[in-house]
Amino acid sequence: MIPISDDHLADIHAYCDAVTSGERPACKWERLAVQRFLNDLERQNTDGFPYVFDETRACKIIDFGQLFPHVKGKWARASGKANRIRFEAWQKFGLANIFGWVHPDTGLRRFRIVYDCEPRKNGKSIKAAVIANYMLAQDGEYGAEVYCGATSEKQAWEVFRPAKKMAEKQPSFRRAYGITSHAKRLEADQVGTKPREDGSKRFPDGSRFEPVIGKPGDGASPSCAILDEVHEHPDDTLYDTMLTGMGARDQPLLLMITTAGSNIAGPCYAQQKELEAVLQGSIVNEELFGVIYTVDDPENEWRTEEGLIKANPNMGISVSREFLEARVRDAEQSPRKRSIVLTKHFNVWVTGKNAWLNMLDWNRQADPALHVSQFEGEAAKLGIDLSETDDLTAAVKCFTRVVDGEQHYYFFGRYYATEAKVQDHDHYDEWVQSGHLIQCDGETIDYDDVEDHIIQDAEQFDIEQSFYDPHGAAHLAQRLDKHHGIEAVKVGQTYTNFSAPMRDFERLLKAGRIHHDGNPCLSWMFSNVVAKETEDGKMLRPVKENRDSKIDGAVAALMAFIAAHEPDDEDDIDDFLKDPIL
């Protein structure tokens, strides 16, 4: 733990030194966020980087927040200044970055979007409440509109309630800025004596702060939007509404606070991936700031003290070591609780509660450098799953190569969706734009396109068979057989057909012998696969948890695997032959 003082800048640099030196155990993303800050200090106000770090503004938000009392927990029961908020060095680092970086000519803030991913009980809500009150009263924005948005009323109040209580318990704040507290909002409607940042006096301007569920009303012009627990947002609706409404503001702020979750097709996961790319330097976005507090080795570090410190920067302060150690013991004893503990206390993205695969294993085997052209002329097995005519369709090829005497499997696919479905699903649209999903015009899948693509593949690769689901792909498979010489093999989604291959697929994945190119559409579909077992637990087959959890690409990949699979020894062969394809 880094000692804190009244010298905020000294605390921030001590924190940076501790992270870069290794004195403070920190994950990759925390280290990269600190290094980004240090690099920016070196290049501030240079060609191509028109920003400077204003130390006064950086410290101002910290001083502002520390004027308020705690409103829940053990500190709220203290008296006098003992119950005042005291930011830790890592929190000062985040606040100083958000408010300290400005354009030297305009004085406007650099960062407009902030992604703050911290495990539970590390003080996200208190920090967000301070930012909300600052943006309401001290930002110098005429007619400020501050919203705390979430998917439920209860969640929307998680930030608004402490901010409101802070204001109510600090009379000098209300007097200075003309703050009136109502049941469901804070208003700044009275003449205040506190000058704005530019030195002018504050006059009535109708500034307000309120929680919102879903979209704010028509005509809203957010100057600050705080989106809480973004991992629970099913789509980009609230994010897009807030962001587009900020167009008339000079320096708006969109703050996302969240833990990890399970929906890797949602906006939260996409935002995290963008931040990771920025921190790694693979893309440039000077308006995006964020830090992710997690572990580097999710398989093992959650059981270690170092892992606890990496993921929980406020351990020993707002969250006790004993509490976290108890949660780890829970996770060790229960696979169900393990997923909850990993997401909520270690910020590890996991799949649904009944998911078949460990997606950490799947993601570890993603290799964006892999390309299907590297297998030109080689034999491929083809799996086809043509579901409903208006939804996802998949055709996946599986290649095999021997590496160090062992068989490895490589998967590449094409995935199709209708224009109507793409318009209905934000993650479909993102995948279309990135080239990971093919959009078919109109309201039905164009099976002629699917057939044409398979024929093109057959000219480039050696494809002798197509393994298909009889419920949707029979017609296409028969056309491929009759007109193009690709033998059609029917594979029903039964326990008999899928049980042994699914167990082998999972084993080979853990062994590092399953490879794919990281297509997010396929990863999402594999994350949706639930292993439905027979009553005796001896056999399983792939199903989806709900109607919106598509698994077509995963099923197509598994059928290609069934065609390509070569068991390692005689016992495996015996087991495999017990499950003949029907």
CA torsion sign, 352 to 356 to 360 to 364?
negative
Please name the helix (run of DSSP H) or strand (run of DSSP E) that holds residue 102, with its range, or none. Answer: strand 101-102
Cα–Cα distance measured from residue 190 to residue 171, given in angstroms and rounded to the nearest whole number: 14
For 184-204, what is the mean pLDDT?
Answer: 59
Q: Does position 186 have pLDDT exceeding 60, yes or no?
A: yes
pLDDT value at residue 386 = 82
pLDDT value at residue 199 = 52
Cα–Cα distance measured from residue 354 to residue 342, given in angstroms and rounded to the nearest whole number: 15
Q: Which residues pair with 424 in a beta bridge?
A: none
Q: Please tell me the least confidently modeled range out of 91-100, 110-119, 142-151, 285-294.
A: 142-151
Domains recognised in the chain with CATH numbers: 8-292 (3.40.50.300), 301-351 (no CATH), 362-577 (3.30.420.240)
**Tens-place pLDDT, residues 84-131:** 999 999 999 999 999 999 999 999 999 999 999 999 999 999 999 999
For 543-563, what is the mean pLDDT?
Answer: 89
pLDDT value at residue 147 = 94
Cα–Cα distance measured from residue 356 to residue 543, given in angstroms and rounded to the nearest whole number: 10
pLDDT value at residue 218 = 61
**Phi, psi at residue 287, to the nearest 5°?**
-100, 0
Q: Are strands 514-516 and 179-181 parallel, antiparallel or unpaired?
A: unpaired
**CB pairs under 8 A, 24+ apart, for 18-25?**
24/309, 25/306, 25/309, 25/310
More confident residue, 104 or 545: 104
pLDDT value at residue 264 = 81
For 388-396, what is the mean pLDDT?
Answer: 80
Q: Does position 546 have pLDDT exceeding 80, yes or no?
A: no
Q: Are strands 487-490 and 514-516 parallel, antiparallel or unpaired?
A: unpaired
**Tens-place pLDDT, residues 477-506:** 888 888 889 998 989 889 999 999 999 999
pLDDT value at residue 165 = 94
Total residue count of the chain as it appears in this document: 582
CB 336 within 8 A of CB 353: yes
**Residue 67: how many other CB atoms lie within 10 Å:** 14
For 439-467, what is the mean pLDDT?
Answer: 91
For 198-227, what is the mean pLDDT?
Answer: 75
pLDDT value at residue 576 = 41
pLDDT value at residue 382 = 96
Q: Using 50, 70 and 90 to split pLDDT, how confident is the model at 309?
A: very high
Question: Nearest Cα to 372, choosing from 519, 511, 513, 477?
Answer: 519
For 532-544, what is the mean pLDDT?
Answer: 86
Q: Are strands 186-188 and 393-403 parallel, antiparallel or unpaired?
A: unpaired
Q: What is the mean pLDDT of the chain?
A: 88
Residue that has been written with the tokens 């892992």 in this structure? 307
Q: Please tell me the least confidently modeled range out of 40-54, 67-81, 265-279.
A: 67-81
Residue that has been written with the tokens 């308020």 in this structure? 68
Q: Where are the beta strands (DSSP E) in 111-244?
A: 113-117, 145-150, 179-181, 186-188, 207-213, 224-228
Q: Does position 204 have pLDDT exceeding 60, yes or no?
A: no
Could you give the angle at the alpha carbon of 403 between the alpha carbons of 398 and 406, nearest 5°?
85
Task: Enter the pTM of the model.
Answer: 0.73
Q: Concatenated DSSP letters for 240-284?
A: HHHHHHGGG-SS-EEEEEE---S-TTSHHHHHHHHHHHHHHTSS-
| Inter-CA distances, 42 with 10, 106, 108, 315, Å | 17, 21, 20, 31
Question: Nearest Cα to 291, choosing from 55, 51, 127?
Answer: 127
pLDDT value at residue 236 = 82
Contacts of 486 (CB under 8 A, 6+ apart): 382, 454, 458, 463, 464, 465, 466, 480
The percentage of residues in the chain with a pLDDT greater than 70, rounded to a whole number, is 90
CB 469 within 8 A of CB 559: yes
Q: Using 50, 70 and 90 to split pLDDT, how confident is the model at 45?
A: confident
| Inter-CA distances, 478 with 230, 499, 557, Å | 46, 26, 20
For 442-460, what is the mean pLDDT?
Answer: 90
Q: Using 50, 70 and 90 to split pLDDT, how confident is the model at 197?
A: low
